Amino acid sequence: MTRENVMEMLIVLLTTIMLIVIGDAVNPGCECLMFTTTYGKEYGTFSSPDYPKPYHENINCLLYSFVSSRNEIVEITFKDFDLQKTHVECARGDFLKLYLHLEHAQVNELTPWSALLCGGLADVPRLLYSSGPGLVLEFHSDPRPSNSSGFLGHFRFVDRRMFQTDGQKVPGTTCDHQFVSRNHSLTAGHFFSPRYPSSYPTNIKCAYRFRGRLKERIRVVFEEVTLQKGDASCLHQADVIKVFDGRDQLSPVIEAVCNEAAGVEVLSTGAELRVEFSAGSQWPGQGFKASYQFQPADGSTSADPDRFGNHIEGISSHQTYLGPAVSATTSNCDLVVSSDSSKNGSLSSPGFPQPYPPSSYCQYDFQGRGKERVQVVFSHFNLYASSEKNPLCDSIDSLVAFVHISGRKEKIDAFCGTALPKPIMSNGPRLMLEFRGIYSSPYSTGFKATYSFTENFGIRAGRQLSDYPCAFEFDSNVTRNGSFHSPNHPGYYPRDTECHFFFHGGASEKVRLRFGYFDVEGVAPCEASTASDYVEFSNFMARDRKYPRQCGQQPAFDVESDRKFFRVTFRSNDRLDGTGFRASYQFLDKAGPLQGGPAHKSRAPRRPGFVGAPAAALIISVISMNICC
């Protein structure tokens, strides 16, 4: 059988619909398939041999090479993926090797590869991009028989100019950019991590500097962030995005983003903002896509392109008191509250303290800046409720709170009846309250509350640090004992929030913590696999495997450090929430007796699950072959 006939049979087996060109391989065992056009269709198709039947064993090297035009990149979507997994890192057995960063669809034994894939569809990225016009997949199977069906994917060619960063590249730098607001210049645009939407390089640091005109503010939204999977604290992640509320690294840090996120919004307090992206991990992610806008600082949010919530026309003419920081939009009941005018004030239902009229509908839209969070504390609450036992708040008079989560407006709580609500706190600079007074009665006097734009997350203990979005320091030289709590306690803590509590003792001291109240949403082992919020303890800035994470509702427990430094980190995700924790601390002499009791060494209680685990060993094996296409 001739070589041409062999290739003809492979075409049928792979069910491709594009031109296939035979390339010469350095390794005689390699077969090369070249995909260069979709013939006017939106995408082409590729698959493993015999798909969906199981592929053969001993496939030494089968290359899938994709070549786009100079201004295009390659997009690959896996519709099905099933390769027998025999090694945790996919370095042996059956695997698909990715080459994403090629100028030409050619590889050899010196070409660096991007990743190894094996396992099922849930184990691999569904979407892959090249950084240049070339992309190569290298398929191997070992001698062991397998019932795995292989893979099926679509590819298409995408205009790479869709992912060009607006602004000016700083001369002499690898990836720094500056964005300056001037007359006749763009007031809005996008910026990206290097090589986005393909994976970014490792060991890289990029700065994006924004400079507005006098009285302008900068609004940045991280629309998509894919760095590493997981829920690790940004303190010990190698790849992190930091946002500084000013021109340089000495400015306060107002946001830190790591792992995966979407729709993270930041608004500067002044006319300058700095975004830093640092990447040092061995396996980079896809990176980030972000938008920016220069906004006038006019004391309102009316200029925002996507004002929080819908604009309500003519909803009520009843007076609502909110203090000096309010600008009315369409009525006295549809109001915008900006921190540019005042940092605190009061709000109430229409006509308070008199009963509110029926068919009242009010929106209170709060807009903060920098690291500000909106906190609302109620002093009076009395809404009409039917005689039905435990009715849903959706069907009766209620007050509903919304925040921005992953780029969408999401309800975080609803209040009805006469029980005084717990304090509310936003997860970012924006919060919306909707009052729905469907009914009324002579006895339903509505609600009254105070609001504040706070930078301390409702935490008034310790010294707040400016080089983290939320961090507090406790020094034994200042006070040897005291208390601290989670953000907004005793109310529900805000979502998508990370706060650190650093304890610094003297050379011969340690610290003991007693958690008298603990309600952190989640289930053991409090990891990403259980989508849990958590509290983490460590004798170091890095993670300390001696102390397992804590979550759930727990009785009182103690935790004690081994050395003079101790860290407590609270982290919440974008799902459910709890009322957090309340704890006391006491600095002790390592050799001395405990205050009020005999000398003894106390360790964290041995409750189920409160046992440290050694760090897992990481083995990386690299297979290099002399191949090309």
Site of tokens 């790591």:
258
pLDDT for 183: 77
Per-residue pLDDT band at 314 (split at 50, 70, 90): very low
Per-residue pLDDT band at 605 (split at 50, 70, 90): very low
Same domain? 438 vs 290: no
At 220, list the tokens: 């940045």
Mean pLDDT of the chain: 84
Could you read off the pLDDT of 252-269 as tens digits, one per residue? 999 999 999 999 999 999
- Which secondary-structure segment (H or E) carries 7? helix 3-14
332 vs 276 pLDDT, higher one: 276
Interatomic CA distance for residues 527 and 549, integer angstroms: 8
pLDDT for 326: 40
Residues of the chain with pLDDT > 70: what percent? Answer: 83
Site of tokens 């006019």:
298
Could you read off the pLDDT of 480-510 as tens digits, one per residue? 999 999 999 999 999 999 999 999 999 999 9
Residues of the chain with pLDDT > 90: what percent? Answer: 68
Interatomic CA distance for residues 483 and 461, integer angstroms: 7
Cα angle at 302 between 299 and 305, to 5 degrees? 125
How many Cα atoms are found within 13 Å in the side-chain-facing hemisphere of 301? 26
Taking Cα atoms as reference points, which of 188, 185, 191 lies closest to residue 208?
A: 191
Same domain? 532 vs 404: no
Same domain? 74 vs 178: no
The residues, any chain, with a CB within 8 Å of residue 67's CB and separated by 6 or more, are 34, 35, 36, 104, 105, 133, 134
pLDDT for 387: 67
For the cut 50, the answer to whether the pLDDT of residue 312 exceeds it is no
pLDDT for 89: 87
Same domain? 10 vs 148: yes
Q: What is the mean pLDDT of residues 295-322?
A: 45
Whether 601 is covered by a domain: the verdict is no
Q: Which of 454, 483, 513 is the last residue of a domain?
A: 454
Same domain? 11 vs 154: yes
At 169, list the tokens: 């590249």
Same domain? 577 vs 478: yes
174 vs 628 pLDDT, higher one: 174
CB 360 within 8 A of CB 354: no
Same domain? 274 vs 356: no
Whether 598 is covered by a domain: the verdict is no
pLDDT for 282: 87
Whether 307 is covered by a domain: the verdict is no
pLDDT for 194: 97
Could you read off the pLDDT of 232-241 as tens digits, one per residue? 999 989 999 9
CB 461 within 8 A of CB 337: no
Whether 600 is covered by a domain: the verdict is no
Interatomic CA distance for residues 219 and 268, integer angstroms: 7
Least confident of 61-65, 116-120, 329-333, 367-371: 329-333
| Domain containing residue 570 | 463-589
Could you read off the pLDDT of 386-431 as tens digits, one per residue? 766 666 788 889 999 999 887 788 899 999 999 999 999 999 999 9
Interatomic CA distance for residues 410 and 400, integer angstroms: 10
Same domain? 292 vs 330: no
Per-residue pLDDT band at 88 (split at 50, 70, 90): confident
- Which secondary-structure segment (H or E) carries 10? helix 3-14
Task: Please provide residue 328's backbone torsions phi and psi, each rounded to the nearest 5 degrees.
Answer: -75, 145
Q: What is the mean pLDDT of residues 141-151?
A: 92
335 vs 552 pLDDT, higher one: 552
Whether 599 is covered by a domain: the verdict is no
pLDDT for 10: 40
DSSP 464: E
Interatomic CA distance for residues 213 and 260, integer angstroms: 32
CB 240 within 8 A of CB 284: no
For the cut 80, the answer to whether the pLDDT of residue 102 exceeds it is yes
Whether 238 is covered by a domain: the verdict is yes
pLDDT for 145: 86
Output the domain CATH number for residue 408: 2.60.120.290
User: Domain count of the chain?
Assistant: 4
Query: pTM for this one?
Result: 0.82
Could you read off the pLDDT of 359-386 as tens digits, one per residue? 899 999 999 999 999 999 999 999 998 7
Q: What is the mean pLDDT of residues 587-615?
A: 46
Is the peptide bond between 614 and the residue preceding it cis, with omega within 30 degrees of 0?
A: no
pLDDT for 14: 39
CB 209 within 8 A of CB 274: yes
Q: Which of 257, 279, 296 is the last residue of a domain?
A: 296
- Give me the sign of the Cα torsion angle 73, 77, 83, 89: positive
Amino acid at 235: L
Whether 371 is covered by a domain: the verdict is yes
